[in-house]
Amino acid sequence: MSASAATKSVVHVAGYTTCGFYRRAASVVSSLALLFPSRFRIVEHEFPSREAYREWLIDEAAESGGGFRDVVGNRSPPPPGNLRATSHTSSPFCWLSSSSPATAAVGEAEGDGSDIVEFIGGCDDTLEWCRRLLATVGTTSRGNGATAAAAAMVPDGHTVGHAYDYDLLVLGGGSGGLAASKEAAKFGAKVAVLDYVKPSPAGSKWGLGGTCVNVGCIPKKLMHNAALLTEAHVHDVPHYGIGMTKEMEAASYGVSADNEHPQHGWETLRSNVQNHIRGLNFKYRVDLREKEVTYLNVLGNFLDAHTLETVNTKGVKSTVTFSRCIIAVGGRPTPLDCPGGDLAISSDDIFSLETDPGKVLCVGASYISLECAGFLKGIGRDVTVAVRSILLRGFDRECADLIGEHMKGIGIKFIEGVVPSMLEKTTDGRIKVSFSNGESDVYDTVLAAIGRTGDTSKLGLDKVGILPKTSNSKIPAVNEQTVTPNVYVIGDVMDGCPELTPVAIHAGKMLARRLFGGSTAPMDYRNICTTVFTPLEYGTVGYSEDDALAEFGKENVIVYHKFFIPLEWSISPNRGHSRGFCKAVVDKSSNKVLGLHYLGPNAGEVMQGFGTAMKLGCTFDDIVETVGIHPTTAEEFTTLSVTKDSGEDAAAGGC
């Protein structure tokens, strides 16, 4: 590596404000600087727009003999990576120098390039550079014949004979915290889990298990299933002859028609969902006891790096000490910031709402907002979605737009380009919402789903030298280790971590194995599958088409795509708006699959297997040379042949 422990090197990250890859690279390098302040400093060169960035990087050539990439590439003697630098076009552009001011405005601190030590590359190159830098303890098998850099950990002072109350204290009893605590206990560690649910602003409370079990994935999927069953009853059941008597068939002259939308009992659904959740809460407590993990129903905040002050449900304070701590407190919904915003509920409240939600406004274009809008419409409620900019930011743009079209097609109303400016209680107990475009409407329920914020404000992190990001209150870390070596972080509260339950679970287990089981294997956050349970389900893994084009260039990416009608929908005449879609985003030179995207039924089940293939580095030929299972929707990936560049019709035909 070019960086050495003897000198303080400067890592430069240049990009434009709205580029997610720039933000990601800057976040990771910032964490590196936090962990090794004596070795590294980060300087960010942030440009206000893509155009301004490209002018600096590339387009100055006509006036000054070269953009900044040419300054790097043509330096004499050439720094490592100079040839790659001269052809680099995407954001970010990262390099290493030997000296620089502590902060830099745009265009400053690069000088004439005389202090450049090494061109690092774009986002992926920078992340890999950081991994190699940290790989000071060897390599570990990935299980496919390849090896990956082991997770280098800063010594945290843990000793077998310490005098603290616990070897490991886990803050937060959600999916990640529970997984980490039980895994550590398997290796003989003395472990305690602190879990205390602070009520939502609307007063909702729940039990052990965290967001996923209580107010997230589990109740969401059950209510989504209620919508699917209702949709099948209306659009599919009669056309399969179910419930049709001979008299009904005779009266209809053999022509089937959709059913009327059935009555739906919110209280029955809510009650059964909550009963199921309470059963899971109980099982989690039993499981902790069987695994010999101490469960403490108390709220904790740091007094120092080895001590927490705790407060129980009766307000009684105490202290608990630990050798190591894992912060796994997750996040909470970001509230509406407008007059009357406290009248809105959030996803913390909707699944246990005791009154029928009635006419609903979902505020936000996040997957949480669209999922809630989808299942509420599916069970027969009047639903409107208020969208400030675009749907599903961060996901594939084409797929997000197709989801929006489908949702509009089934009767969900969208108000685009607006935010609520005021919420007011009406005399009949409803909520009047005024929008930024001057329009207004009245709703029974307003659901805010505009984002999530790390639940760190009352942890006393300043007592242990940890500074959460001001933008999202999340904690920077490298290999889940914070700037305070014996304090770790996993799950949604870790900055840059995908907000997905399986990610938190897997990261928690792998961290526990490193801390107490002798493992060196790092958590791999790349190529993680996810599914959005909108009315038209969306499964995805890897790069979106938009991100792949930005990262690798249009000339280096080929996209295969197809529209299809799932067989199970083909005899339902009013499913005309319900087309499935799949596409593969492929690197032209290597034929490696960069991303897979699927819209259709059972998206999660379809995408899970492809996630394994992506993790093993599959090529497009690997997929199309696989014999498909017929007739299935997953099979559509194995028959992809039409490229976007060809301009050919992407609609599937025949068997």
Show which residues are catalytic. 630
Cα–Cα distance between 627 and 631 in angstroms, integer? 12
Contact criterion met (CB below 8 Å) for 204 and 239: no
Picking from 429, 430, 379, the residue whose alpha carbon sits closest to that of residue 273 is 379
- Give yes or no for a contact between 367 and 217, defined as CB atoms under 8 angstroms apart: no
Q: Residue 280 has which token pair?
A: 């899971």
Place of tokens 């240049």: 14
Residue with tokens 């005399």: 427
Nearest Cα to Cα of residue 499 among 347, 277, 335, 324: 347
Judge contact between 562 and 654, C-beta under 8 A.
no
Spatial distance between the Cα atoms of 617 and 541, rounded to a whole number of angstroms: 12
What is residue 296's three-state secondary structure? strand
Alpha-carbon distances, residue 549 vs 90, 436, 530, 558 (angstroms): 9, 34, 21, 9
Q: Give the Å distances, CA to CA, from 510 to 191, 211, 263, 294, 528.
A: 16, 21, 47, 21, 16
User: What is the residue whose two structure tokens read 């929707």?
Assistant: 633
For 259-262, the CB contacts below 8 A with 24+ separation are 259/233, 259/234, 260/234, 261/230, 261/234, 261/380, 262/230, 262/233, 262/234, 262/380
| Distance, CA of 177 to chain centre | 18
* Residue corresponding to tokens 């990416």: 557
Three-class secondary structure of residue 203 per DSSP: coil
Q: Residue count of the chain, please give it.
A: 655
Q: Which residues, including other chains, have CB under 8 Å from residue 350's CB and lie 6 or more apart?
A: 357, 372, 445, 447
User: CA 407, CA 184: separation in Å to the nearest integer?
Assistant: 44
Burial class (CB in 10 A: 0-12, 13-18, 19+), 258: middle
Do residues 580 and 591 lie in contact, with contact meaning Cβ atoms separated by under 8 Å?
Answer: no
Query: What is the C-alpha R_g of the chain?
Result: 27
Distances (CA, A) of 344 to 191, 336, 554: 38, 8, 43
Residue closest to 539 by CA, chosen among 621, 477, 608: 608
- Distance CA(308)–CA(460), nearest Å, equals 9
C-beta of residue 348 within 8 angstroms of C-beta of residue 202: yes
Preceding amide of 80 cis, omega within 30: no
Beta strands 383-387 and 360-363, pairing class: parallel
Please answer whether residues 633 and 564 qualify as being in contact, where contact means their C-beta atoms are separated by less than 8 angstroms.
yes
**Are the C-beta atoms of 540 and 208 separated by less than 8 Å?**
no
